């Protein structure tokens, strides 16, 4: 799991401009069946519960072992595959963007109104092959493992961490609350262990 050794940062803004929360989900692997609509729906429910409103975007990607290994090495400095990675997108000043669509190119125009732009929350990347292999020792079932990883990744995007014991305890309590409300729609099953590979 991600989070250890990283500086704690404040959570992102939770309110975007006019519009609705969107979760873009993509299945870029063939190791396990992934119900994109189900996990997208869970992500939308969790974001709404966490106070995300208006035009906001999150990407939820399901990738191969090779892809998660490369991301883990490049961005986390860790070797080998992991089950989930989260990449929060901090708010940036649209007026200093570079590239083809930058405000400084072309005819003079006013600065964009940040209220007109969607709130870019970040990316949650899950590896179904790793999740499937570790499920019996972690969440108990593959279904519960996928749900736990989606929720865990979203909590990281929203500023939660588990580097310190107290943070980890708060994050696990929040995971359990969200899973009970939106995954099981009731109490956790007896076999759910909520273990993490740190």
What is the full DSSP assignment across 57-74? EEEEEE--HHHHHHHIII
User: Are 76 and 125 in contact, with CB atoms under 8 Å apart?
Assistant: no
What pLDDT is recorded for position 23? 97
In this structure, the strands spanning 21-27 and 84-88 are: unpaired
> Between the CA of residue 138 and those of 27, 102, 105, 118, 132, what are the distances in Å?
22, 45, 51, 35, 10
pLDDT along the chain (198 residues), means of 10: 40 71 97 97 97 94 98 95 91 32 38 64 97 93 96 95 92 96 90 66
Task: Report DSSP state, residue 141.
Answer: S
Enter the DSSP assignment of 114. G
Give residue 187's pLDDT.
Answer: 86
C-alpha–C-alpha distance, residues 148 and 43, integer Å? 11
Check if CATH label 3.40.390.30 holds for domain 21-93+114-182: yes
Alpha-carbon span 150 to 45, nearest angstrom: 11
- pLDDT at site 193: 77
Q: What is the DSSP letter of 76?
A: I
Give the strand pairing for 84-88 and 119-126.
antiparallel
Domain ranges (residues) in the chain: 21-93+114-182
């Amino acid at each position: 799991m991600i989070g250890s050794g990283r500086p704690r940062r404040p959570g992102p803004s939770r309110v975007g401009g006019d519009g609705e929360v969107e979760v873009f989900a993509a299945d870029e692997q063939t190791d396990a069946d992934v119900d994109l609509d189900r996990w997208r729906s869970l992500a939308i429910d969790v974001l709404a519960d966490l106070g995300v409103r208006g035009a906001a975007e999150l990407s939820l990607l399901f990738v191969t072992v090779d892809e998660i290994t490369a991301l883990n090495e490049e961005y986390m400095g860790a070797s080998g595959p992991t089950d989930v990675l989260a990449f929060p997108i901090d708010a940036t000043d649209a007026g200093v963007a570079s590239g083809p669509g930058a405000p400084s190119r072309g005819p003079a125009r006013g600065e964009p109104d940040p209220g007109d732009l969607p709130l870019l929350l970040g990316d949650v990347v899950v590896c179904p092959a790793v999740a499937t292999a570790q499920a019996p020792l972690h969440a108990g079932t593959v279904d519960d493992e996928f749900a736990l990883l989606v929720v865990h990744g979203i909590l990281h995007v929203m500023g939660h961490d588990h580097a310190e014991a107290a943070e980890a305890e708060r994050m696990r309590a929040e995971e359990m609350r969200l899973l009970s409300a939106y995954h099981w729609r009731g109490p956790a099953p007896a076999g759910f262990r909520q273990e993490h590979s740190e």
